[in-house]
Amino acid sequence: MIINILAGGPESLLPDLSEYLEKDAIWVGVDRGVYHLLKRNITPKIAFGDFDSVSVEELMFIEERVTELKKYKPEKDETDMELALNWALDQDPSMIRLFGATGGRLDHLFANVHLLVNPLKTKKSAKICLIDKYNLIFIKGPGRYTIEKINTKKYISFVPLTLNVQDLTLEGFKFPLENRHISIGSTLCISNELNSDYGTFSFSEGILIVIRSHD
């Protein structure tokens, strides 16, 4: 099972959502993202939000079409996206994709990127990624991973999320590394590229943000 979550980020940064309409995909709306989904004739199974970013008319449009609507007061401990993500993780999916989570306010962007670490914290097996028109972002803990070439997102960056990332090794990349220690704040691993169809990256300690981008 795949769960796609659409938040209320700028529509100009959304990818073509028709590429993610798999048969086993469940759609979840977050705040204004619910309205964005309905405009594209995608009815979410469930929706979360305080809905302070939609008009009265838009909220009525949403309420008429979404059966399971979780409405919250704006004053709460979790963001709307975190509430939706926690629900999604409890469904034990194989993958969770976050859309509409970039652009606009930087505090929302940083919060949404940090939410990608939740499966590691809760020891859930779901793969989770954040996708917009230009980027695909995911987070990895220690291990060895194969990464496949994507022609539409040729740049690959590795950004430490923790204070230190130990023994980072990049194989099959234009700029390879072997057992390097990378500290938070380092830009050493920005805008790398694969030499062929596949490459590998590995490290023994820390957490990495992996960003795949195009101009």
pLDDT of amino acid 145: 97
pLDDT of amino acid 72: 87
pLDDT of amino acid 52: 85
pLDDT at 74 over 80: no
pLDDT of amino acid 122: 80
For the chain, the farthest-separated pair of C-alpha atoms sits apart, in whole angstroms, at 57
Write out the CATH class of domain 139-213. Answer: alpha beta
The SS3 call for residue 37 is helix
| Among the listed residues 124, 54, 117, 53, the one whose alpha carbon sits nearest the alpha carbon of residue 82 | 117
**Residue range 109-123: mean pLDDT, rounded:** 88
CA distance 168 to 177: 7
* Identical fold, 2-133 and 139-213: yes
Amino acid at residue number 195: N
Query: Percentage of the chain with pLDDT > 90?
Result: 79
Q: What is the pTM of this model?
A: 0.91
pLDDT at 75 over 90: no
Please say whether the beta carbons of 183 and 161 come within 8 A.
no
Q: Which CATH number fits domain 2-133: 3.30.300.30, 3.40.50.720, 3.40.50.10240, 3.30.70.1400?
A: 3.40.50.10240
CA distance 149 to 54: 39
In which element (H, E) is residue 130 found?
strand 127-131
| Spans of all domains in the chain | 2-133, 139-213
